[in-house]
Amino acid sequence: MASLCFPIADIPEEGLEITRQVTRDELFLDESDPGTQNDFTVSACLNVADGNVRVQGEFVGTLQLDCVRCLIRFDEPFRMPFEGIFLAKENGRSPAPKVNRQTSEEPAVELEAYRIQDECVVLGEMLREQVILSIPMQPICNSDCKGLCAQCGENLNVKKCSCPHMDAVSPFSVLRNLVKSSESSPSS
Ligand SMILES: [Zn+2]
Ligand SMILES: [Zn+2]
């Protein structure tokens, strides 16, 4: 976690610009978290105001996701801007306080709030939330993905299979077959 911990004493008045490689371990992500096989890059600016620290930046990386239709793993690049504020200890985080921007030219915006830990801004939790937010619930490799055949499991993006598909059978042909079989049944 060392590389994601920034002592407030080291942040100059004009702000601190950072760019860091971030590993999955630093974000407390494990194998069971989807899409997090790769490392990420964070660039951010830290500014101290009234003992609190504003953090603005961008989080860039590539998620590895499994398509819910064809089950193939694919890469999904993402670029996520983020902004948050780290509050001095006495303000706490529970329940999460909402802090308004104090600049007069911008409308008040609610920022995600975190707690300053031991006089340090620790970005791990904030970045972890960014990754979790960017993972889609139903990843699809391509909006045209045809998925797998429900009968033989063939990946239909790659190859057509020869299974009869339900939608190829019209209700009229079923009816016609019923009529034929009743016509051909022997009459007493
Ligand atoms: Zn797919
Ligand atoms: Zn098939």
CA of 27 to the centre of ligand 2 (A): 41
Residues near 6 by beta carbon (within 8 Å), at least 6 away in sequence: 16, 18, 46, 120, 121, 122, 123
The number of the ligand nearest the C-alpha atom of 142 reads 1
Q: Which of 76-85, 115-124, 161-170 has the lowest mean pLDDT?
A: 161-170
pLDDT at 91: 46
Calculate ∠ Cα 96-119-44, nearest 5°: 70
Q: What integer pLDDT is reported at residue 95 of this predicted model? A: 46
- Ligand 2 centroid to Cα of residue 148, in Å, is 8
- How many C-beta neighbours within 10 Å does residue 35 have? 22
pLDDT at 105 over 60: no
Q: Which pLDDT score is estimated for 94?
A: 47
Distance 157 CA to ligand 1 centre (A): 8
Instruction: Give tens-digit pLDDT for 148-173.
Output: 999 999 999 999 999 986 655 555 66
Residue of higher predicted confidence among 124 and 31: 124
Ligand 2 geometric centre to CA of 64 (Å):
27
pLDDT over threshold 60, residue 96 = no
Per-residue CA distances from 96 to 14, 87, 100, 118 (Å): 28, 11, 13, 19
pLDDT band at 100; cut points 50, 70, 90: low
From the CA of 151, the nearest ligand is 2
Place of tokens 């009229």: 172
**Is 90:161 a contact under the CB 8 Å cutoff?**
no
CB burial of 130-149 (b: ≥16 within 10 Å; e: otherwise) equals bbeebeeeebbbeeebebbb
pLDDT-based confidence at residue 16 (cuts at 50, 70, 90): very high
One-letter amino acid of 69: R
Would you state the pLDDT for residue 134? 82
Lowest mean pLDDT among 11-15, 57-61, 80-84, 97-101: 97-101
Rounded to 5 degrees, φ, ψ at 182 are -75, -30
